[in-house]
């Protein structure tokens, strides 16, 4: 009878570990894979460092970003943090923060 309680405790512990740690990490990794697969030339993005840019070229490992007229930078594809909404990007371009 004592072994059954220990097994139940172990099963609950494993289930909690899966639900609280492994599953959220898998969900986040899937979201990142989908984001990186959906990138296209012309997309406005924000890098993980917070820089806003437009994608001018892509390959399997890198992205070429234009951060200002005539200024291009090369980043690893994994440095893309998120895409910007095209509708919000137009309004955002004209605003300045003080």
Tokens of 23: 């599953």
Please state the length of the chain. Answer: 98
Q: Helix, strand or coil for residue 48? A: coil
* Whole-model pTM over 0.85: no
Surface-to-core class of residue 45, CB atoms within 10 Å of its CB (0-12 exposed, 13-18 middle, 19+ buried)? buried
Q: Is the distance from CB of 84 to CB of 44 less than 8 angstroms?
A: yes
Q: What does the pLDDT average to over 57-72?
A: 95
Give bridge partners of residue 71 from the DSSP assignment: 68
- Least confident range from 15-19, 64-68, 94-98: namely 94-98
| Region 22-44 average pLDDT | 94
Name the pLDDT band for 98 (thresholds 50, 70, 90). Answer: very low
Average pLDDT, stretch 1-11? Answer: 83
Percent of the chain with pLDDT over 70: 87
């Amino acid at each position: 009878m004592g072994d059954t309680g220990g097994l139940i405790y172990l099963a609950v512990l494993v289930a909690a570990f899966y639900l609280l740690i492994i599953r959220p990490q898998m969900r986040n990794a899937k979201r990142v894979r989908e984001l990186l697969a959906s990138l296209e030339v012309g997309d406005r993005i924000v890098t993980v460092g917070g820089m806003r840019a437009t994608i001018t070229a892509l390959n399997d490992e890198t992205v070429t970003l234009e951060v200002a007229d005539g200024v291009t930078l090369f980043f690893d594809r994994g440095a893309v943090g998120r895409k910007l909404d095209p509708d919000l990007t137009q309004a955002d371009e004209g605003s300045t923060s003080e």
